[in-house]
Chains A and B, each alone.
Chain A
Amino acid sequence: MIRISFILSLLLILCTGGFIPAAMTQEGGATAQNTTELTTSVGFPLRILQTKIAGSRLIAQPYTDRRVPAMVRIIETFPHGSDFRYDIEFRGFEPGRFNVVDYLKRDDDSEFTSTPLWVNVEPILAADKVRPIPLPQNESQFRSYYIPILFVSGIVWLGGLLAILFYGRGTLKKASVITKTTTPAEKMRPLVDAAIAGNLTPAQQAELERILSEFWSTKLNLGHLPADQLRSTLREHPEATKMLEQIDFWLHRPAGEATQPVDVNALLKPYQDQNITNASD
């Protein structure tokens, strides 16, 4: 009994031109109607699995023209004796009835004819619904003021940018003016006066020493030298080295050690009347 039904099935296959759609799957909710006429929706892929088609290997027709209303893709090919089985994906872009076979061709470019495999592509939307129903939009006050708000924000941003640019430059100019007026000679004057009067704290003494170094640096045009090289260069200068030695005796040696006590008045007198012009000479 089983053998008879098998032989009948085989005959049926041969009658249909060796075409066996073994299984159909669909994505996106379309349903398979029967083994020969399949249904899907516009744009939804339909998978036709393990379909045996006699003859040499088939490939999908290249989709080169966007006006073609359907597209076929061969997912996988399996050898089946001298023939092949195929997993095919079909996608229709317009409603209508399409023959999948029309979108296939032989890999070796030989002539290809086969029993049609029809797929009905149905529209989901009703015939009078050409476009989806538009979403309800909440009209807010912000939407109506959007353009003015954008415009005002732009003005504020531009104003801020100009303020930063021009205020910043102004501050820089002011700072440069301050730097110009704060020369070693100017900074030195009150400290020299206090030193001659004997009222300097150790912190002020240290500050005076630094300023004197910078004063000589400006005078001898040594501003480019690193601090240690400046000191060693000043040590080699006949006038500056005398000043440094006296300051060493005054500030850095243990008290009462100097063989000749430092005369702070005589040491600092030349610096008391220094002005900006002298400093930059």
Chain B
Amino acid sequence: MTGQDATTQVDSTPDTTDEPNQEIKEVIEFIDKIRTRVATVVVGQDVVVERLLIALFTGGHLLLQGVPGLAKTLLVSVLSKTIDLEFARVQFTIDLLPSDILGSEVLDQKTNEFRVHKGPVFTNLLLADEINRAAPKVQGALLEAMQERKVTIGGENFSLPAPFLVIATQNPVEQAGTFELPEAQLDRFMMLHRLVYPKPEEEKEILRRNAQLGIRVEGKGAVAQTEFDMLSNEPAGSSDNLISAMQAVQQVYVSEAFIEHIVEIVNRTRNHPLLELGCSPRAGISLIKASRARALIRGRHYVVPDDLYALAEDVILHRIRLNYEALADGHTGASVLQGILREFD
């Protein structure tokens, strides 16, 4: 992330000087509670929290790209507990099978009948850790479930619970023994956010907090406590709050001029001389959805181009592919995208 969001903290105070209406006020209170709760265990990463909320409020899926140890799992875990959502984590490995995620039919020896054993995908928040380590058929099975929000086990269809949000992670460094997600599958993620290391001040705070974690006595011994032990099980909001937030996102006004901005940017990616693959219509839809959620999080009931520009990298960058000439000339996806966003002709 080269943009402002990566380097500065997200200002959670409303962007607008207008007094927001009651519905938006309640949603902002709910968001503040989530942020406060997350801040008790996670230092910094405000942009990621915002992206998680955007994904949650819009029902889009999020792919987090970053090296291990940036509190991805902790973030998702605290978010699920804060909103009282079910949470499951699957560590993707090369020998994982689709049935390990989706579920399968097992023979009940007492009744001599097959019964359905639902897999970890039947949850509200699914953390697919290192998704690029699994074989393509497993990735395909999960991405199909993400798209259709239903799973077929033994010829029977099962709807996934609502909300259903997949937060997948991938490590950009270790590429040996991984299966890179093809563009068509990446397109199903509403956003791909590139995590960055915490700033020095944040890192100091992380170390200070970690030094105070202490131990937990268990039976005859004791174990060192982790940040996960600090998570409060008391939710800061209910599913009703979440539904209200989702409804409020749908009420955020999108102007014709804003739609024109999106169409123009999407078209530029399709006709750019340095790009082999441009954005799909899904990119435009995702941009509008994400912009609406960002506007709401920032206390606005209308979107402005600032939302679009702030989210463009996360929404567009994983959907475009540079051509050979661009790669040979040393261009990067981010630099080409910035050129597209800054073009005024």
Contact = CB atoms under 8 A, between A and B. Distances in A.
Tell whether A and B belong to one assembly. Answer: yes
B260 A206 contact: yes
A28 interface: no
B2 interface: yes
A215 to B, nearest CB: 8
B345 A202 contact: no
Contacts of A248: 302, 304
A211 B343 CA distance: 9
Main secondary structure of the interface of A (DSSP, over half): helix
A232 interface: yes
A214 B303 contact: no
Contacts of A214: 342, 344
Contacts of B211: none
B5 A228 contact: yes
Given A202-B256, A209-B305, A228 B310 contact: yes
A253 B255 contact: yes
Contact of A252 (B255, B312, B338, B345): B255
Contacts of B264: 203, 206-207, 210
B3 interface: yes
B261 A206 contact: yes
Contacts of B261: 206, 209-210
A234 to B, nearest CB: 9
B256 A227 contact: no
Nearest to A235: B306
Interface in A221-238: 223, 226-232, 235
A54 to B, nearest CB: 64
A81 interface: no
A252 B303 CA distance: 7
A227 B303 contact: no
Contacts of B255: 202, 251-253
Contact of B341 (A184, A227, A232, A235): A227
Interface centre among A182, A206, A207 (most CB of B within 10 A): A206
A73 interface: no
A254 interface: yes
Given A226-B2, A227-B312, A251 B257 contact: yes
B4 interface: yes
A206 B344 CA distance: 10
Given A184-B344, A252-B302, A253-B302, A226 B257 contact: no
A187 interface: yes
A205 interface: yes
B253 interface: yes
Interface string A183-208: 01001000000000000001101110
Interface string B302-342: 11111001101100000000000000000000000010011
Contacts of A205: 256-257, 260
A228 B260 contact: no
A251 B259 CA distance: 11
Contact of A232 (B253, B303, B306): B306
Interface in B249-297: 253, 255-261, 264
Interface residues of A, number: 28
B70 to A, nearest CB: 21
Given A202-B257, A226-B4, A229-B4, A211 B302 contact: no
A228 B4 contact: yes
B260 A227 contact: no
B172 to A, nearest CB: 20
Nearest to A233: B4
A202 B260 contact: yes
A206 B309 contact: no
A232 B4 contact: yes
Given A206-B261, A228-B3, A231-B309, A254 B302 contact: yes
A239 to B, nearest CB: 17
A182 B345 contact: yes
A227 B259 contact: no
Contacts of B301: 254
Nearest to B341: A227
A217 B342 CA distance: 10
A45 B304 CA distance: 90
Interface centre among B5, B302, B303 (most CB of A within 10 A): B302
Contacts of A202: 255-257, 259-260
Contact of A206 (B253, B257, B310): B257
Contacts of B341: 226-227
A227 B260 CA distance: 17
A102 B230 CA distance: 95
Contact of A203 (B3, B260, B303): B260
Contacts of A226: 2-4, 309, 338, 341
Interface centre among A213, A228, A229 (most CB of B within 10 A): A228
B257 A227 contact: no
A253 B3 contact: no
Nearest to B254: A252
B344 A210 contact: yes
A232 B7 CA distance: 13
Contacts of B259: 202
Given A203-B260, A206-B264, A252-B257, A211 B3 contact: no
10 contacts: A187-B344, A202-B256, A202-B257, A209-B305, A226-B4, A226-B341, A228-B4, A228-B306, A251-B258, A252-B305
Interface of A: 182, 184, 187, 202-203, 205-207, 209-211, 213-214, 217, 223, 226-232, 235, 248, 251-254
Lowest 8 CB-CB distances: which A-B pairs, in order? Answer: A206-B260, A227-B341, A202-B256, A228-B309, A228-B3, A251-B257, A227-B309, A229-B4
Given A213-B344, A228-B3, A228-B309, 5 more contacts: A210-B305, A228-B5, A229-B4, A251-B257, A252-B257
